[in-house]
């Protein structure tokens, strides 16, 4: 675990591992003047850093009991998913030209994709342009703004106070005229009309008629 997750070998990194992954230490505590050893609950002590007081480049993680090295004295590690890799078993590395040809082929396939992305980028740029908005603003808002300015100017030239005063005077005149016609007017005196001339048949005879030739 220490070799896999903590490449820097130092007492500080040991304390960090002990805090971050306590399950790997089985309840042990860190001891030692240099902080490179642990003591298990059963009393056993293990040294975890090789050459802790020497050159940092020579340090490495280990799990051994303190004292002279003996065969079989190393603390056995449980098998896990991480294994050491033997460089001699890797074989000859693949030539770089093969990898380059694979990458070049994949990049060539992306040529059409790049052109398609360019088309979409142009569409986005055109849609986000402010020219259409500016033209629409000039055709609508600017035109309405000019008309509004004219209406405001004409209203400013009007004497609204005089108009209101005239309207009030007209109202008073209407009220005063209405009061004169609260009662119907009296019937006028009609003069005697002259009689017309009497018709001949209405005049009685006054003498004897004399026949004429």
Q: Which helix (H) or strand (E) element contains residue 29?
A: strand 29-31
| C-alpha–C-alpha distance, residues 172 and 170, integer Å | 5
Q: Are 38 and 23 in contact (CB under 8 A)?
A: no
Q: Residue 141's pLDDT is what?
A: 73
Tens-binned pLDDT, residue by residue, of the chain (213 aa): 999 899 999 999 999 999 999 999 989 999 988 889 999 999 999 999 998 888 888 899 999 988 665 545 455 656 666 666 676 766 665 555 567 777 777 777 776 677 777 777 878 777 776 777 777 777 777 777 777 777 777 777 677 777 778 887 887 777 777 766 667 667 777 776 666 565 556 556 665 555 565
């Amino acid at each position: 675990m220490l070799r896999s997750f903590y490449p820097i070998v130092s007492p500080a990194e040991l304390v960090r591992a002990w805090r971050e992954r306590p399950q790997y230490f089985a309840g042990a505590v860190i001891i030692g003047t240099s902080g490179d050893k642990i003591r298990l609950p059963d009393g056993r002590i293990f040294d975890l850093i090789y050459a802790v007081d020497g050159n940092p480049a020579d340090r490495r993680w280990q799990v051994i009991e303190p004292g002279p090295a003996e065969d079989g004295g190393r603390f056995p590690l449980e098998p896990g998913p991480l294994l050491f890799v033997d460089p001699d078993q890797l074989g000859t590395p693949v030539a770089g030209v093969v990898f380059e040809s694979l990458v070049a082929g994949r990049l060539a396939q992306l040529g059409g994709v790049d052109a398609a992305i360019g088309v979409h980028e142009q569409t986005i740029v055109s849609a986000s342009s402010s020219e259409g908005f500016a033209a629409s603003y000039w055709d609508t808002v600017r035109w309405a703004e000019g008309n509004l300015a004219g209406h405001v100017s004409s209203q400013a030239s009007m004497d609204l106070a005089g108009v209101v005063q005239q309207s009030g005077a007209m109202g008073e005149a209407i009220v005063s005229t209405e009061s004169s016609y609260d009662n119907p007017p009296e019937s006028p005196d009609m003069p005697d009309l002259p009689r017309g001339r009497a018709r001949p048949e209405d005049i009685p005879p006054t003498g004897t008629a004399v026949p004429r030739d």
